[in-house]
Structure 1
Amino acid sequence: MSRQRIEGIVPVMITPFNESGEIDYAGLERLIEWYIEKGSDALFAVCQSSEMMFLSVDERRALGRFVVKQVAGRVPVVVSGHVSDDPYSQLEELQAAVDTGADGIVLVTNHLDPKQRGTAPFLGNLQWLLDRLPADMPLGLYECPAPYRRLLTDEELRFCIDSGRFVLLKDVSCDLETVKRRVAMTAGTPFAILNANAAIAYDAMKAGSRGFNGVFTNFHPDLYKWLYTQGAQHPALAAELANFLVLAALAEPFGYPVLAKMYHQRIGTFASIKSRTITFDVRERFWALDAILDKIVEGTEMMRARIAAL
């Protein structure tokens, strides 16, 4: 299998469900087309934003396969679905990811060290999986914050770089100095450090992060794309846009991924905001949530107009 570069703006895909709780594949098809229309460089399916922890292995496999088929090679697709601590269950999940036909599969760091024992168990568990996964399958790593955030040490990252099998890290350090150090470690290799934290998104891009992989790619991936590819040519507008993107992303704790589903319901991507992760009424818990979303939408359209007028 050829090892495509996975970099640029890489949305973490949400999963639309119908009101009965099943995957809405018609809505998913429209969502995929929206991501591509908005300039996404790759897609990350069956991730935490996809509610992978609440999907069966068969659903994860079917979801990934659908995304790969619909994308049809227009952009690379990576998938995860890595949610278990037991090594044999992990292998089953990752084999399901391989079965999707994706361009890469993504391992979740906390499941490589579920008892938080440190580097030796982490590397031992990782090597066990590497010995059993297809040697030609490009791999990624994801510092998923659930069930706990397990950041890579420099030693662990070096092991992954030197293995030659990894092409990306979804960096959830949320720390610019860590991103800079990792960028330096991976310089000159196909291994892309993709920052996922909006607060440092533009600074990380300027420091060499090869794009952005955060949750607000579900609202305005095109704005992140412009910042990444054109921001240096328009520094004043880029600084203003970067500030807007940070403030917009502060809404994430208000019921994401349902908040993103509310946005896509508004623009007609799909009909239901049903979620398996969020089972409470977000409007009841988070007062004025629709008003917050109004402002995100207004700000997004304002920034799009500013860019179009250049």
Structure 2
Amino acid sequence: MENSQKGFIPVMLTPFLDNGNIDFTALTQLTEIYLQAGSSGLFANCLSSEMFELTDRERIQAIKHVLKVVDGAVPVVATGTFGGAISRQADFVKEVSDLGVEAVIAITGLLADENDSDEVFDENVFDLLNQTDNIPIGFYECPVPYKRVLKPQQLSNFVDTGRVIYHKDTCLDLAQIKEKLALTQGHKFGLYDAYIVHAVESLEAGSAGLSCIQGNYFPELIVWLCDHYNDSSVAEEVKIVQQFLIDNMDVMHNVYPIVSKYFLQKRGLDISTFTRRAVGNFSPRVMKAVEKLFDDYTSLRSELNIQVYI
């Protein structure tokens, strides 16, 4: 995850059958789509995967399945902390690590209560590190159950241990991103930005790549942006792509991930829009907005001559 090549790390969806069970056939096809698009890694068992609606057994099954499909082609990271005593979280971190992931992701909002101080949080992080041998760890500033954003010096202190190699940042603040990058420079560590609004600026500042929900609509477009953000020959096209992503943020976030699954249906993936998480009403108005997004993307993709798997 710490390689110098700018890359896209998809936050993977979990396809379900209409009866609510995991659709492993669709999960295979979806994983292949991410790979064919040129993703440089995968983030399995994350919020987009509806990880809080999965049982521990299903989490392990899904991660194991993704690893089997990937077969070493790219690194895979996966969440391994789901609350409770640090010792309990450490046990599941070890279980996830044993599957063969590159790093196990710790949810910042589950390592301390919302009202706990940074000192309590830091103590819990170091406790987790001490209880998990030499397992590579990453952080995700997940908005659920609450969003705890790491301060730049905190992140630096954790990276200095040599154990933290990955961070999915959701601070939405480019100045903080730059400070985090400056303080962690020189380490085997990658910061992946989730905020598409400043994607190009974040890449220019030194982020290792992007890890955003937009990749669950058109992963090849996010890969294209990571590949060309600094290419002067397509500078105008980069601006167009960045603006396209900004202009469609509301559409892509509304009743997500139902909308992204519907978008993937439009692309040709045999995936149900079933979700276990209650995210709102997939109304005709929302559906129409997604269909317009699909049409607009199809035109943009054609203009950029981007190849797609489906």
TM tier relative to shorter chain: over 0.9
Cα displacement (A) at 1:25: 0.1
CA, structure 1 residues 158+232, in 2 after alignment: closer, same or farther (shift >3 Å)? Answer: closer
Name the stretch that deviates more: 297-306 or 123-132.
297-306
- Equivalence for 1:25: 24
Deviations 1:18-67 (A, max 9, x none): 01111000000000001111111100000000001011111111111110
How large is the RMSD of aligned CA atoms in angstroms?
A: 1.8
**Residues 79, 105 of structure 1: 8 Å contact kept:** yes
Hey, what's the Cα distance between the residues in 1 that align with 2:133 and 2:3?
A: 18
Cα displacement (A) at 1:184: 1.2
Instruction: Give 1:112's aligned amino acid.
Output: L
- Equivalence for 1:306: 303
Hey, what's the Cα distance between the residues in 2 that align with 1:177 and 1:122?
A: 23
CA, structure 1 residues 168+308, in 2 after alignment: closer, same or farther (shift >3 Å)? Answer: same
**Residues 43, 78 of structure 2: 8 Å contact kept:** yes
**Residues 26, 270 of structure 2: 8 Å contact kept:** yes
Query: Size of the alignment, in residue pairs?
Result: 303
1:187 maps onto 2:185 in alignment: yes
Structure 1 length-normalised TM: 0.92
Instruction: Give 2:179's aligned amino acid.
Output: R
Cα displacement (A) at 1:235: 0.8
Hey, what's the Cα distance between the residues in 1 that align with 2:208 and 2:273?
A: 32
What is the DSSP-based 3-state SS (H/G/I as helix, E as strand, rest coil) of the residue aligned with 1:141?
A: strand
CA, structure 1 residues 159+27, in 2 after alignment: closer, same or farther (shift >3 Å)? Answer: same
1:150 maps onto 2:148 in alignment: yes
CA, structure 1 residues 271+19, in 2 after alignment: closer, same or farther (shift >3 Å)? Answer: same
Gaps of 5+ in 1: none
Cα displacement (A) at 1:277: 0.8
**Residues 47, 81 of structure 1: 8 Å contact kept:** no
Instruction: Give 1:259's aligned amino acid.
Output: V
Q: How does 1:132-281 map to 2 (within 5 A)?
A: 132-135=131-134, 137-233=135-231, 234-278=234-278, 280-281=280-281
What is the DSSP-based 3-state SS (H/G/I as helix, E as strand, rest coil) of the residue aligned with 1:251?
A: helix
- Equivalence for 1:117: 116
Structure 2 length-normalised TM: 0.92
Gaps of 5+ in 2: none
- Equivalence for 1:38: 37
Instruction: Give 2:89's aligned amino acid.
Output: Q
Q: How does 1:50-61 map to 2 (within 5 A)?
A: 50-61=49-60
**Residues 16, 24 of structure 1: 8 Å contact kept:** yes
**Residues 8, 211 of structure 2: 8 Å contact kept:** yes
- Equivalence for 1:291: 288
Hey, what's the Cα distance between the residues in 2 that align with 1:123 and 1:62?
A: 31
What is the DSSP-based 3-state SS (H/G/I as helix, E as strand, rest coil) of the residue aligned with 2:229?
A: helix
Cα displacement (A) at 1:115: 4.0
Hey, what's the Cα distance between the residues in 1 that align with 2:262 and 2:28?
A: 17
**Residues 4, 103 of structure 1: 8 Å contact kept:** no
Hey, what's the Cα distance between the residues in 2 that align with 1:198 and 1:115?
A: 26
- Equivalence for 1:100: 99
Cα displacement (A) at 1:280: 4.9
Moved over 3 A (4+): 3-7
Hey, what's the Cα distance between the residues in 2 that align with 1:181 and 1:281?
A: 40
- Equivalence for 2:282: 282
